[in-house]
Amino acid sequence: MTLCSGASRDQAESLAGTAATARTWLLLEQPGPWGSKALTGSRLDPVLGEHLEAAAALGVRAALIRRPGRTGAGGAARRVLLAHTAPGDSWVRTASTDDPRELLDLDLAALAGGDHGGFGAAHTAGPVALVCTNGRRDRCCAVLGRPLAGELAAAGHDTWETTHIGGHRFSPTMLTLPHGYAWGRMSAGTAGHVLAELARGRTVVDGCRGRSCWQRPEQAAELAVRQFTAEADVDALEVIGTTAVDAAVGSTTAALPTPGWLVTVARRDSRRHWEVTVAEGVSLPASPASCGAAALPQSRMAVLAVRPLLAAGTR
């Protein structure tokens, strides 16, 4: 079987604007095998699994994690990681539990808004790397993800294997916390560089799929501004407005395919703004979204323009 990641790499499919969307991540250690639908098919209490699966509707994305090498006994205390990814308010909290059903008592709406309610303790040991390795969901994640997770762990990085974080065809994929940036087509060298930069409070554009706290057009817009300005500070930018535009209405949007967006990105410490024109197109030739799937045109975010703006009140 041809790996879906090979087809995506061969056609140089764009990574920008492909990250899973979630402002808050809830990660539960679950040793042993994972099913294709991990939260409800991995020996986890079914009531808890369904509860965590439904959390996505509130803005909290849940996943299962395990240390590389599949160590850990099923009866041991489980690690729980909770992370919020908004710029200027990103954090990771960690705790251990002997009974994962305690997570049923979490206030998911509050967590989605960035209020951890004193859960656990602050994680201050640098960036956390989550590498997708769920081969039951997609073959690429096992074939490419597991070796990467092992290499990062061996190099001393705080690394976990994780279940689905989106984008099989960009394997090996990695999510970094607390900032919530997703990455694709990583090697041990490129991933190590990313983690070293994040530890210094800096991020890089190469290999980045976007920051998960934003929707896909906004992810692409933020990365485009970083490329346009060479801004590396991990929390320097925020999205302050997004307007949908119609290709058939108005001369300023006549060149846009439908749908399109005007995304306003700003520096958090000044009045500098940029308006980014983003359109949704397709990547051709057609390719599979995952191993074994039919070849289809894949959605992509195309940045058409980045325009500096003068903020109101600035002379």
What pLDDT is attached to residue 74? 52
What pLDDT is attached to residue 209? 95
What pLDDT is attached to residue 73? 47
Question: Is the overall model pTM greater than 0.75, yes or no?
Answer: yes
d(CA 265, CA 262): 10
Q: Where are the alpha helices (DSSP H) in the chain?
A: 4-10, 46-54, 108-112, 139-140, 146-154, 188-199, 216-229
What is the torsional sign of CA 299, 14, 169, 294? positive
What pLDDT is attached to residue 75? 57
Neighbours of 299 (CB within 10 A): 13
Does 259 sit behind a cis peptide bond, omega within 30 degrees of 0 on the bond before it? Answer: yes
Q: What is the pLDDT of residues 238-285, one digit of tens each?
A: 999 999 987 533 334 445 556 799 999 999 988 899 999 999 888 777
Q: What is the pLDDT of residues 121-159, one digit of tens each?
A: 999 888 999 999 986 666 777 888 899 999 999 999 999
**Which residues lie closer than 8 Å to 245 by C-beta, 6 or more apart?**
252, 253, 256, 259, 260, 261, 262
Structural tokens at position 260: 């399109």
The segments of the chain whose pLDDT lies below 50 read 73, 248-254, 313-315
What pLDDT is attached to residue 315? 40
In whole numbers, what is the pLDDT of the chain averaged over residues? Answer: 87
Q: Where are the alpha helices (DSSP H) in 83-233?
A: 108-112, 139-140, 146-154, 188-199, 216-229
d(CA 22, CA 24): 5
CB 308 within 8 A of CB 22: no
Q: At what angle do helices 188-199 and 146-154 cross, to 10 degrees?
A: 50
Helix, strand, coil percentages (3-state) for the chain, rounded to 5, are 25, 35, 40
